C-alpha cells in the first residue's frame, strides 16, 4: 500500500514552461518510477476551485514565513509504501546524483516547496474503483497543507477529521477517496488529499462542505480559523500526468 507521499508545489516561468512539461512527462517521471520503492507519480495543474472556493480561501490565514516556498501553480506527487523510501536515499542525495541536464530542467521550477508525508488515515469514496492507473490519485484533487496554531487545536482537528469530514467523503458522490497526511519532513505538519473523478464532481458534491467554513458556528468554520496554511493552500487541480481516461 502507498503510505508515503512526496509532494512538491511550484510555479513555472512565463517562457520555457512547455519544454519543461514535455521533458517531465515524457522522460523524467517515467525514469523516476524506475527507482526502487516508487509506486506511482502524478502531476497536477492547479486551476482553482471557483468563486465559492475563493470566498472560503479569503477566510484562511496564510504563513508569512518567507522561507516557505511560494509555489502554487503545480503539484507533483510521488507515492511509496513508506515515507522512508524518500529518505534512503534522501532527496538531497537523489538531487546530487542527477545529471547536469536534469538539474537544468528542474531549475525551471520557481518557489518550490517540498514535504514528505506519512498517511495517518484513509477512506475510499464511492468511485474508488475508478482510481488508476494502479494506485495513482484521481483525475482531480484538492490538497491542503497547514499547521494548527495550538495544542488544543491539534486535538479538535483530529476529532473533526475522524468524526465529520472523512466519514462524509466515504459516501460522497464523485469522490474517489481521501487521505489525511502528517509530515515526516517539511513546513506543514498536516495535509489532506481529496480525490475526485472530475473538477465538476468536486464542485457539485464537495463545495457545499467547504461553504460551511464561512459560518463561525459550524465545526468547519471553527477549524479554518485555528490553522495556518501554506501559500495557495488548498490546491484544487486537474491531473495532467498520467493522462486521465
Burial of 86 (0-12, 13-18, 19+ CB in 10 A): buried
The residues, ordered by sequence, that sit 6+ positions from 11 with a Cβ below 8 Å of its Cβ are: 70, 71, 72, 73, 74, 109, 110, 111
Residues forming beta bridges with residue 118, ordered by sequence position:
4, 182
Task: Tell me the average pLDDT across 180-201.
Answer: 98
8 A C-beta contact, residue 6 and residue 119: no
pLDDT given at position 16: 80
pLDDT at residue 15 tops 90: no
Q: Of 136, 107, 145, which Cα lies nearest the Cα of 24?
A: 107
Pairing of strands 190-196, 110-124: unpaired
**Is the pTM higher than 0.85?**
yes
Label residue 245 by pLDDT band (50, 70, 90). low
The residues, ordered by sequence, that sit 6+ positions from 208 with a Cβ below 8 Å of its Cβ are: none
Lookup: cell for 93: 542525495
Tell me the C-alpha distance between 40 and 146, whole Å: 24
Question: For the chain, what are the domain ranges?
Answer: 4-241
Lookup: cell for 97: 546524483
Q: What would the CATH number be for the domain defined by 4-241?
A: 3.30.70.100
**Cα angle 51, 138, 113; round to 5:** 70
Q: What is the pLDDT of residues 74-119, one digit of tens each?
A: 999 999 999 999 999 999 999 999 999 999 999 999 999 999 999 9
pLDDT at residue 244 tops 80: no
Amino acid at each position: 500500500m502507498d503510505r508515503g507521499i512526496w509532494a512538491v508545489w511550484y510555479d513555472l516561468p512565463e517562457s520555457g514552461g512547455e519544454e519543461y512539461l514535455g521533458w517531465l512527462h515524457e522522460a523524467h517521471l517515467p525514469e523516476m518510477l524506475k527507482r526502487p520503492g516508487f509506486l506511482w507519480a502524478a502531476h497536477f495543474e492547479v486551476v482553482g476551485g471557483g468563486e465559492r472556493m475563493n470566498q472560503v480561501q479569503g477566510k484562511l490565514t496564510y504563513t508569512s514565513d518567507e522561507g516557505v516556498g511560494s509555489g502554487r501553480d503545480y503539484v507533483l506527487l510521488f507515492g511509496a509504501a513508506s515515507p522512508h523510501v524518500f529518505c534512503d536515499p534522501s532527496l538531497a542525495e537523489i538531487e546530487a546524483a542527477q545529471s547536469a541536464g536534469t538539474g537544468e530542467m528542474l531549475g525551471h521550477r520557481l518557489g518550490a516547496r517540498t514535504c514528505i508525508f506519512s498517511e495517518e488515515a484513509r477512506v475510499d469514496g464511492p468511485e474508488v474503483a475508478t482510481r488508476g492507473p494502479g494506485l495513482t490519485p484521481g483525475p482531480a484533487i484538492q490538497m491542503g497543507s497547514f499547521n494548527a496554531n495550538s495544542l488544543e487545536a491539534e486535538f479538535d482537528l483530529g476529532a473533526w477529521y475522524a468524526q465529520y469530514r472523512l466519514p462524509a467523503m466515504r459516501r460522497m458522490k464523485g469522490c474517489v477517496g481521501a487521505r489525511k497526511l502528517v509530515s515526516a519532513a517539511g513546513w506543514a505538519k498536516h495535509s489532506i488529499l481529496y480525490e475526485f473523478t472530475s473538477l465538476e464532481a468536486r464542485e457539485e458534491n464537495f463545495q457545499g462542505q467547504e461553504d460551511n467554513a464561512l459560518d463561525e458556528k459550524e465545526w468547519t468554520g471553527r477549524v479554518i480559523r485555528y490553522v495556518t496554511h501554506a501559500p495557495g493552500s488548498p490546491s484544487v487541480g486537474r491531473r495532467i500526468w498520467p493522462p486521465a481516461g
